[in-house]
Amino acid sequence: VGVGDANASPTTALLLSILQESTGRIATIIFAHRLGTSLEPECKMYRLAADIFNDAAMLLDCLSPALPRGPRVLLLSSSSMLRALCGVAAGSSKASLSAHFAKWGNLGELNAVSQQHTLLIAMVRSRPNVASERLKPGNYNFFNGNAGMPVAGSVVVSYVSSPITTWTCLILLLSIHLAMNRAAVRAVMLHSLNRQRANLVISTYLDRDKVLTPKEVSVQEWIFDWNGVLRWRSSSPLAAARIGSSLQVLLASLGPARKRSQRTGSIRDTEARLTRLIRLYSQEEFLVWYDAPQRLGHIILKEGAAAESQLKAWALVLWIAHRRHAAGADATSAVFESSMELHRRTLQELSLQWSNCTSRLRKAGWDLDNGSLETRSGSRIRLIINSDS
């Protein structure tokens, strides 16, 4: 703030530093609280997002001297916030990717090698402090405290002096940085099934009776995708789904609006729709309901639902959404009875081939025991069956 301003004081600089630190820490807490669950399932996305956050913060820092004091403070605070988001996203995604590459449980060795590579790169890109003239005996002192001047800095700075060349080099280097990181992220072949990979694998199996391998999916999947979207193979979004929804959300989707109390918001289930739905999924560890008018699927997990059951629930709601979409315009006006029939028929067909599906998925290299479908903390329900009913 005080650069080029004769009226600036150390107190102003201190207050700015406190503001930046506070903004960064608050952003870290909020980001980790809201998106902490999704960092591991979407580690590839957040790994690249961390680089975007860092490069955006660098651009804001470079733009700040051109602005007045007020907007400059907001810009620097935003830069601090982006760096905080970068730290959370990069640290969490690195931990998940390190666990993926530690095939033999050698996570400690992998981290040690990674630190060695970082140190080696830092040593290669640095050199001892050399005077501008040729190296002469007596002029070189490796322990003079100034060793470590970057080679790039000593070569590039001498040629880059004008604002146009500076911004051109900055944009070029940042573009190369993002392009290389994007290529590196796309090369990673994860063996867990998050929402996007589950859409690709399950829809291809149901449509073509073919199981995609992690290598084939890594080529087709997008790094950034809408959270909870349902896609049939690589088509446009069919609908959306929420896994780990509460029972209250399910009741609101099942019950007509006219049966909702205006005072308390409670719903009268006079047609026993919830009871019929529970009986339909009595042998499963989940409840699934697809709201055709809203194009939204709800997955309610029972207590102790395994990762494989969560995948089956996601496959079921994806197949129902695909069939509703194939039915055309009449899907939005479907009544409860026809929807129940579709749910019953789809569940029956999926259950008949689910054992064969999971067996082929495991042989293809997919890890079905790692639950990566929940990107937010969800709820669980406990059903107590009355023997008299």
Q: What percentage of the chain carries pLDDT values higher than 70?
A: 81
Residues 204-241 have pLDDT tens digits of 999 999 999 999 999 999 899 888 899 998 778 889 99
Asked whether the predicted pLDDT for residue 27 surpasses 60, the reply is yes
- The mean per-residue pLDDT over the stretch 365-369 comes to 91
**CA distances (Å), origin 90, targets 47, 83, 129, 246, 384:** 6, 10, 32, 31, 43
Residues 308-321 have pLDDT tens digits of 999 999 999 999 99
> Which pLDDT does position 142 carry in this prediction?
33
> Which pLDDT does position 213 carry in this prediction?
93
pTM of the model: 0.80
> Which pLDDT does position 362 carry in this prediction?
94
Beta bridge partners of 381: 302
Q: Which pLDDT band holds residue 322 (cuts at 50, 70, 90)?
A: very high
DSSP reduced 3-state for 40: coil
Residues 6+ apart with CB under 8 A from 308: 358, 368, 369
Could you tell me the two tokens for 217? 């999916």
Asked whether the predicted pLDDT for residue 57 surpasses 50, the reply is yes
Quick one: how far is CA 200 from the chain centroid? 17
> Which pLDDT does position 355 carry in this prediction?
94
Residues 343-366 have pLDDT tens digits of 999 999 999 999 999 999 999 999
DSSP letter at 64 equals: G
DSSP reduced 3-state for 217: helix
> Which pLDDT does position 100 carry in this prediction?
73
Residues 110-137 have pLDDT tens digits of 777 777 777 777 776 665 444 333 444 4
Phi, psi at 50, each rounded to 5°? -60, -40
Residues 147-177 have pLDDT tens digits of 444 555 566 666 777 888 888 888 998 999 9
